[in-house]
Amino acid sequence: MIILFHPRATKPRNCRLPLAVLALAAVLEGREEYAIIDGNLEDDPTGAIVSLIDNHQVELLGASCMPGPQMVAAMETCREIRRLRPNVRIAWGGYFPSLYPDTALNAKYVDYVVRGQGEDTLLELIDALRGKRTLESILGLCYKDAFGFHRTNPERPMKGPDEFPWSPFHRLPVKKYLRPSFFGKRTAVHHASIGCPFNCSFCGVHAAYGRAERMESPERTVKILSHLVNEYDADSVQFYDMNFFLREDHARELADRLAPLNLRWWCEARVDIMARYSDATLEAVKRAGCTMIFFGAESGSDWVLKEMQKGITTEETLAMAHRTRQFGIIPEFSFVIGNPGDPERDTRETVSFIRKLKRINPSSEIIMQHYTPTPQPGKMYGDVDSQIAFPDSPAGWASKEWLDYTLRIDTHAPWLKTKTKKLIDNFETVVASRWPTVQDIRAPQWSRALLKVLSWWRYALRVYRFPVELQWANEFINLRKPKRESL
């Protein structure tokens, strides 16, 4: 038996279909005995895994993990399994081990690391465990040799989603994963493409996957979503692709095929690509149920966008603010603030850019993040490679300091003065109060009115310092939010 383990990544009320283990399950289905353990639903995943090991001949425990709390949950369970059942081989895959393969392998309880796309690597690893091939021959794999030295095999070229079988949804209690959201009562998630061809030097995707994007055929995307609608009553979907819209002809076909499903949906896109789309295509996208689009706007300064290798301009972001307003789609603009060279100027210019965006399209949702360097194939954005020493073990990454780093709560960036960090955080509090996000479906109506009234004068007069009353109001509202979501 193969166990696919998805460690806890969110609170159960926010859990989503575990796409990574579902993709792996798809290639095991019908050819291997396997079980899925999802820590987002299971109270005691370690106990559940031990019980499987005691009742089956388990050949491999495969854990999927992203940086952050999910890696910590993977670490705790795998450490315990190694202690209790030391003969079971353990492989890690997903963004954490793909970005930090040696760090993952430094753990005594990790035997193999699968970098990037995992389906074929997993199948070949199973063959190797059965003596049918050598570990050296498996692309995308890192492992420890007989002397304990780390071996890193060459990259595995990426395949498109259509080259793999469908996810075996019947192996999961799908309805438990279709949670209420701003988009609907039962929101599904889907990946309609994989990878990203761009080269932004602050993002971990190309470091994990290389620089290619492969798109699912619109026909297959719509078949999968129809299945989720017909079998499980899904009424909305979040597309997790890095770039949902990469080509206008593809976007148009997908939109036209999606329209009859009557889903409300969210996706991620680039302003430069969408700014070039015709009005007819944007109309079709809206008609197909597109409700909100996440755009990495990243900065209000063109010099910073250049340094980040983002490949967009502030003009294009402003144009998308206009056009989304025209077509009734809510734009969600995300910013990565704190340029290592000149964080003060970057922050000043981005704050005033966000104000401009809000004037053009007041429904814009704003996300502000502190720049958190991630390993890159080239240099990290801001040339900060020499200023950061990443931990060399999962336990190091699990410390409070590095969890705060990963979750962008506090990056301890040496280039960011406390005063500037405070300005970023305070401005974020004021904007988020002046325009409370529509996505917080648990926030009662009165709370939105209260925050708007309290923050109005601050935003108008640009007084961002010490927004204690807003922090208190937010804490009070959080305490009063209903514990169970129902729409």
Q: Using CB under 6 A, which of the segments 27-35, 57-65, 78-86, 128-136 binds ligand B12?
A: 57-65
Span 69-98, contacts to ligand B12 by CB under 6 A: 69-70, 91, 93-95
- Of the pair 153, 344, the CB lying nearest ligand B12 is at 153
- Give the Cα-Cα-Cα angle 237, 239, 245 (nearest 5 degrees): 130
Kindly state the smallest distance separating residue 204's Cβ from ligand B12, in Å: 3
Kindly state the smallest distance separating residue 38's Cβ from ligand B12, in Å: 9
3-class secondary-structure state, position 387: helix
- 27 belongs to the binding site for ligand B12 (CB under 6 A): no
The only residue of 20, 135, 215, 368 in contact with ligand B12, by rule CB under 6 A: 20
Q: Using CB under 6 A, which of the segments 64-72, 167-175, 281-289, 379-387 binds ligand B12?
A: 64-72
Span 180-199, contacts to ligand B12 by CB under 6 A: 191
d(CA 392, CA 351): 36
- Report H helices in 337-461: 343-360, 394-397, 400-406, 418-434, 445-461
Span 205-264, contacts to ligand B12 by CB under 6 A: 205, 240, 242
- Of the pair 181, 350, the CB lying nearest ligand B12 is at 181
3-class secondary-structure state, position 20: helix
- 45 belongs to the binding site for ligand B12 (CB under 6 A): no
Q: What does the DSSP 8-state code read for residue 169?
A: G
Q: What contacts 402, CB < 8 A, 6 or more positions away? A: 391, 396
- 204 belongs to the binding site for ligand B12 (CB under 6 A): yes
- 67 belongs to the binding site for ligand B12 (CB under 6 A): yes
DSSP assignment of 120-164, as one string? Answer: HHHHHHHHHHTTSS-GGG-TTEEEE-TTS-EEEPPPPPP--GGGS
- Of the pair 241, 455, the CB lying nearest ligand B12 is at 241
399 token code pair:
């410390």
In this structure, are residues 448 and 437 in contact, taking their beta carbons and an 8 Å threshold? no
The only residue of 42, 45, 46, 64 in contact with ligand B12, by rule CB under 6 A: 64
- 113 belongs to the binding site for ligand B12 (CB under 6 A): no
- 117 belongs to the binding site for ligand B12 (CB under 6 A): yes
In this structure, are residues 452 and 434 in contact, taking their beta carbons and an 8 Å threshold? yes
φ/ψ of 141, rounded to 5, equals -105, 145
Instruction: Using CB under 6 A, list all residues that contact ligand B12.
Output: 9-10, 18-20, 23-24, 62-64, 66-70, 91, 93-95, 114, 117-119, 121-122, 191, 203-205, 240, 242, 374, 406-408
